[in-house]
Amino acid sequence: MSQVANSHLRALYVDFNSYFASAEQQMRPELRGQPIGIVAVMTPSTCCIAASVEAKRFGVKTGTGVRDAKRLCPEIQFVEARPEEYICLHHRLHEVIESCLPVTAVRSIDEMWCELKGSDRLRANAERLAIQIKEKIYSEVGDYLRCSIGIAPNRYLAKTASNMQKPNGLVVIEKLDLPQVLFRLSLRDLNGIGHAMNERLIANGIDSVEKLCMASKLKLRKAWGGIEGERMWARLRGEWVPDPATEKSSVSHSHVLPPEYRDYTGAFSVAHRLLQRAAARLRDYGFAAEYLGVRVKLIVRGSKRSEHSYISWGEGCSLAATNDTTVLLKTLEAIWANYPRDGHVQPMAVGVVLSELRDATGITLGMFDDDRHELNQVLDAVNLRYGKNALYFGGAHHALERGGPRIAFNHIPDLELEQGGLGVWSAGKPGKH
């Protein structure tokens, strides 16, 4: 048997370290070497959506509140996120990796993986490719953009390897290394094992990675409550486990409100803008939605300035399958009529979700729907051609610069689509149908 045929390395995983923070440090040299926290808006009540390597050494991490971050690291600098810049940089990094090795899939804004084939599965060749990717990123994109690369028999173990040495690591896991090489990790170090899953594993007598690796396929199926347990059993043994086919189940947008938008009118304007963008995305995907949900995170002020708590308000509405912006905005108005007008609460963040999706080609249009369908197509085309806010529904007027691209875990916004896709007629103020 040839050396290539005997090689089990099939996945190379690239994980950019502290991506948002490193991107800012690359673009702004004065921030290099400094502890920085990336925030959605500049306000003391928000939290870090990313932290630089330097800030992480003080215990600051994603989700750390601004006040706590200052306590942990008095020298930390806060930088307001610039999603459009990060998206553009992501696409440039994707191009560079593609020039070395075809990218199989983008997993998030800062992670992507490549399937190794032929002689690239040999350890020496795979390591050479990893080094080439690193060097090309440094020379063509930026020397402050560090990435950790994991190489393994499957994507799951390659991702695990990429997390084992940060920042700027290169770790190879071969089948001969398994499972002992994983024993030094904690259960929470493994992708897919969050707090709830960790508790379930402990309840099933599995409190370490060693016990997880030694457990039978049947025991893991029981712990996971289904076939995913068997898939985990196979992954941990280096078997190639194809990802199950997935279908898009929803389109959503959310936005943390800056201080000047934290009132009834400002929150509605941002929700209006978010829904217009979501509707444009829905049409771009070829879907229609049968449910619109709205959620607002609220801060409840106590009698003292320092006393406050958080609650959520949200409502949803079922509707006939549609991707018509006018219909969706009227539904939003009806929902928003129930928004709490209590003077003790203040909106902090707004989100909209379109779910129960179906193929738009199967929708039967009403007497006037066909004209609106054509109008939506024309308006989308105008906005794509002439850019951000060329045409928009009037309810979003006060939030034109808000609700811009927000980077979700597994969705990299299309900047052309995200900056356009608005409508033309004023939807008026929130109220009942």
362 — pLDDT class (breaks 50, 70, 90): low
Q: Do 82 and 109 fall within a single domain?
A: yes
Q: How many domains does the chain have?
A: 3
> Starting from the edge strand earliest in sequence, which strands make up the sheet with 11-16, in order?
105-108, 111-115, 11-16, 147-152, 170-172
Residue 92's CATH number = 3.30.70.270
Q: Do 171 and 214 fall within a single domain?
A: no
426 is a domain residue: no
How many C-beta neighbours within 10 Å does residue 48 have?
26
In the chain, the percentage of residues whose pLDDT exceeds 90 is 51
Residue 212's CATH number = 1.10.150.20
Phi, psi of 354 (to 5 degrees): -110, 120
Write out the residue range of the structural domain in which residue 309 sits. 250-418
Domain-terminating residue out of 138, 157, 176: 176
pLDDT in tens, 70-126: 999 999 999 999 988 998 899 899 999 999 999 999 888 899 999 999 999 999 999
Q: What counts of helices (H) and strands (E) characterise the chain? A: 14, 12
What is the chain's mean pLDDT, rounded? 82
Q: Do 215 and 265 fall within a single domain?
A: no
pLDDT in tens, 229-267: 999 999 999 999 987 665 667 888 888 888 888 888 889
424 is a domain residue: no
* Cβ-based burial of 321 (10 A; exposed 0-12, middle 13-18, buried ≥19): middle
User: Tokens for 118?
Assistant: 């032929």
The strand ranges marked E within 52-100 are: 77-80
Q: Do 69 and 150 fall within a single domain?
A: yes
428 is a domain residue: no
Q: Do 96 and 191 fall within a single domain?
A: no
430 is a domain residue: no
377 — pLDDT class (breaks 50, 70, 90): low
Helix (H, G, I), strand (E, B) or coil at 144: coil
Q: Do 375 and 346 fall within a single domain?
A: yes
- The reported pLDDT for the residue numbered 205 is 96
Q: Do 110 and 212 fall within a single domain?
A: no
> Starting from the edge strand earliest in sequence, which strands make up the sheet with 345-359, in order?
250-256, 345-359, 287-301, 308-322
